[in-house]
Structure 1
Amino acid sequence: MANILVVEDDRATGQLMLTLAESMGHTSALASDGESALRLVRESQPDMIISDVLMEPMDGLELLEIVRREFPAVAVVLFSASRDPEVQVRALRLGSVQFLAKPLRIEQLKKVLEKTLADRASAAADSATTSATLKAPVREITVEGLEEALRPYLPGPRLRDQRFRLARLAKVRNRVLVEAAEGVFNTDMLALLHRHSHRAAGPLEVINFANCELDNLTAEWTQNAHAWLQRFSGGTLVFLQIEKLPLHAQGLLADLVRRVQDVRIVATTRRDPDQLLAEGSLNESLYFRLSLFSMRVPPVSELGSDITEVLLDAVCASSSYNLAGRPDYEGAAREALAAYSWPRNYSELHQVADYIAARLKQPRISLAELPESVAAARWPSLGEHVKEALKLHVDRVVRTTSDAARAAAVLGVPESLLRAHLEEPNDALLAALVEPTSRPSLQAITPSYERILIVSSDDLWRTSAVAMAVRPDRLVLGVPDALAAVSTLLNAPESFDHVLIAPPLDVFSPGEIGRQFRRICPGTTLGLLEAFPEPEDCEPFHEIFDRPDDGDRLERLLGLMRDYREKHSDGRSG
C-alpha cells in the first residue's frame, strides 16, 4: 500500500480522488496548490503525487520540476483540462510518468494508479537486489499480516477494509489524523499497531484529552516542552479526541508538534475535522500539522445491512459460543439489530456478541437473546423524522437570517413564538410550522420569494451552500436525506422552484430520488450536483453540473435552473 498526495485546487475533484485512493487501500492527503504540496512532500515524502497542472501561484509543472530534482524516487502523474499539446510534451520531458486529460474517468485513474505503483515497486525490488549499500529494514512490516492480527477486534470478512485502514497506520512514519468514532480504538489495539510499526523499539504513550489532567499537561508543554518530547523519542504518541482540547491548548499542541523530530504522532477525533475547522473548534495550525496523512474509520452504524453478519462473526468468535455451526436470526431480531444505533461502535458490538453467545441455546437468535436496549430498537416513525427535520430547518433559518423578526417572517410564525422557542425549545413552534391554519401563507408574506431545497448528507457542504444561497428574496432550506426532503416538499405551504441534489446521499441513488421528486413535484426544476453521474441517474434531472464550492458558481448554476424553468414553464408535465 502506498502514500499518495493529491494536488487539486477544486475540492470536489480532490475529494473524489482521495476516496478512490483510499478505496484501493492507500493512504492519501490533499493539497490545494503547488506550494502547500511541496511543503508536504518535504515534511513527509509520499510514494506518489497526482497533480493538476493549472494552479496558482505554483503550477503542476513547476512542482514536478522541483520534485524530480529533490525527490527522484517519487512517482508523479499530472492531469489538466488544457488541450495544448505543448503542456503534455513538457510534462513528460520533465519526468511525469503519465499525463491525463480532464475530465478524469475513474476507471482510467484507477488503472494509472495500479500500473504506476506496480512499476515503482518493481524498480525498488530490482534496486534492492543489486545495491549493496541499501540498508535492510529493522523489522519486516506486512500490512496483510497486521490486517489478520486485527481480526479479534474487527471480526469477519465484511470488516476487511476497516482492518486494512487501521493496519496502514503502522506504515505512517510521521503524523496522521484519524476520524474515528467512540469504541473504534482501545489500548490493546493501539499497542498491537505500535508493535508492528517502524517505531516498535520506542515507547508508546496514549493521551486521551477527554479524561486527562489538562492543566498539568499544558503546564509541561509551556515550561519544558523539549524534555517532555524527549521521553517519547523513537516511539509513538497517540492523542485521542483532540477536539476536547480548549483552543488555547490546541495552539500549544500545534507548537509542540512543530518541534517534533523523532516521534511519530497519531491523533484522533470523533468528528469530521473539516467541520470542526469550519466551526472554529479546531486550531488551523494544529489541523495542518497533524493531517500530513489522514484517514477515516467508518462507525458500525454505517455498515448498513452488513451489521447482522458482522455480529454473527463476532458471536462465533466469542469464547462463550458453544454451538456447532453458524446461527441465524429470527426476523424481529434482525430488524432490531438493523435499527439499533450502536453508539459505542465495535466495543459495544463485542459486548453484545458475548451476551448473545452466553445465552444462545439453539442456532437461532431471537429478541430474547439480545440485550434489552438492542431488542427495543426500532426505526423512527415518519412523524419523528419530520419533527427532526423541522428542528434542523428552524436552526438553519435562524443562523442564516439577520435577526429573529426576519427569521419569524421566513418561517411564517409569530416572532414571540420563535423567541420563546429560542429561549427554551418547545413543540409549540414545531406544531405551528406544520399546521396550515396557524400561520399565514408564505406567499402572503412576500410574493417574490424564490424557494430552493438543497439535499445532501454532507453536513458541512450543505450548511455552507445554504448560507451562500440565502438572499432577501429567497427561501433556502437544506435537508440531509431523501425522507426529510420528501416530507419538506409535501408539507410546504408553497411549492419549491428548484431542488439541488448533491451526493453523498443516503441509501438511495440520485436517480431514484430524482424520479420520486419528479412524481411528487412535477413543476419543480431538479439539478444534480455531481461531476460523474451514472447514466441511469441522469434521466430525472433537468440540469447536471459540478458541485459548486463558492457563492459565484452557485449563483451561476441557479441562473441556469431559473432559465430552464422559465423556458419550459408553459408545457412541462414532469
Structure 2
Amino acid sequence: MAQILIVDDDHQLRQSFERLLSAEGYTVRTASTGEAGVEMVRESLPDLVVMDVRMPGLSGLEAFAAMREIEPRLPVIIMTAHGTTETAIEATRMGAFDYVLKPFDIPDILKLIEKGLSAGRFMRSKVEMDAPAEGGEGEAIVGGGPAMQEVYKAIGRAAPTDATVLIRGESGTGKELVARAVYQYSSRAGKPFLVINCVAIPETLLESELFGYERGAFTGASGRKVGKIEQANRGTVFLDEIGDMPVSIQAKLLRLLQEKHVERLGGAGPIPVDVRIIAATNRDLEQAVAKGAFREDLYYRLKVVTMTLPPLRERREDIPLLAKHFLCRFSREAGVPDPGLTPQALDFLTGHDWPGNVRELANVLQKNLIFNRGGPITADDLQQAAGVTPQAAAAGTATPALEAGGDGSAQEFLRRFVRGELVAARDDEGAFESLMDRFGAVVIAEALAMTGGNRTRAARLLGLSRPTLLARIEKYGLKIETSVTSQLGATDPDSPGR
C-alpha cells in the first residue's frame, strides 16, 4: 500500500491526516519540521509528501528543494494559508505536484492525493519491454509476435528524440504503458511526467488545468494557478484520450507545439515552456477531422511519430505469455501460489475475442486468482469471470452474461434502458454519448451501493482504476455517503506559523 509522508508543525493536523489516510488504507508517516521531513525522505522514500509551507526552521519551500535533490520525481503537495499563496505557486513552478489552501474539504484532498500517487507511479514505476512471462518487479509490455516487435522498435526509435508521439489503439491495449516506456527511455526520464485525461476533466476546467490562469480571469479565480504544462517544464506531458479534447482548447495546444509557449487564462503574455507531448486516443481521428471535430493542423502536428497498438484478438499468439505474466504478477502481489491454468482454460483464453483487450484479460485472471479455491483455473472459472454464458462459449461467441436481477434478463433490462433513453433524446446528435453516460452512472451508483460507498472496492468490482472511478463519479455528479464530515486544516488561515 502507498506510503504518504505528512510534514506540518501542527500536531492536530498531523493526527487528523493520520486517522483519515489510515482509514483509506494508506501507510502514514509524519514529521513536525522540514528538516525531519527531508531526513525521512532520505531514509525511506515515500510515495507522496503533503507538506506545509510555513514551519519553524527549514521552510516548506526549502524542504521541497532538498527533497527534489534526493528524488526529482517525488510528488509533493504543498499546503498553504491564503497569506502564503504566492510561495505555494512558486513551489508549483519549481515542480511541486500541486498546492491546496487551508482549510480544505476531505473529498478534495483525497482526490488530489490519489492523483499525486498516480503521477508518482507513472514517473517511477519501471515498464519493461518484451519481458519474460515470469515478470520482474515492475509493469511490463508483454508479447513476442510480429505486431508487438514493431511497437518495441518504434519505442526504441522515438524515445531518445523530442518528437511528438501519437499512440493509437482500442481501449485496454496498453497505450498508457507505451507512453510511460517512451518517457522512461528518453533523455527527460528524470524530469516531470504529468498525465492529463482529456475525457475525465470537464470541458470547463480542462483549459485552466492545462494552461493555468491569473487572478480575476473568470468568476471564482481568486488567485493565480500554474497550469500542468507550465508545471512540467523540461519534462513530458501525456495527453490521454486527446480525441475527446474540445476544439476550442485544440487551438492553444497547437500554439504550444508550434511556438513553444503557453498563455494563462487572463494572462498578459506568453510564457516559454519546454515540454514533450505524448498523446493517445482510441478515436478515429481522420473521421473526426472530416467532421470538423478535430483540427487538421493539430492532427499533423501530433502524428510526427505514430504507434498503433493491435487489439488482443489480432495477436492471439501473445495470450499465453500474457496470462502467465499476469498470474505470476498477481500471485506474487497477493502472496499466494500461482494456481496455473488447465489446457481447456488456455484454449478459452486464446479463443475469446477480448473486447476489453489486455485490461480485460488481466481483470479476469485477477478475479479468478482472488476466488481460487485451490487447483488450476478452469475454463468454467474463466467463462464466469468473463461474463460468458455456456451457450455463447459453446458457439464461440462472447455474449455477456449480465445479471439484471428481478424477473427479466440482462438483455431485456438493457433493451428497455436504451429504448427509454433514445425516445427521450429523439434526434439529439449527442444521444449516444448521453446514453453511455446515463448507463455508466447507473452501473457505478449500483457498485457504490453494493460496497457501502467504498470507492476502492467499487473500482475493483468494476475492473476500473481508482482514479478512473473517481473521475467518473465527479463527471456524473454522484454523491458518496461518508462517515467523515469534518474538515482538515480548519484553523485560522491567518494564525501565526500557518
Q: Taking structure 2 as the reference length, what is the TM-score of the superposition?
A: 0.41
> Larger radius of gyration, structure 1 or 2?
1
Q: Which has the higher contact order (CA 8 A, sep 6+)?
A: 2
Q: Taking structure 1 as the reference length, what is the TM-score of the superposition?
A: 0.36
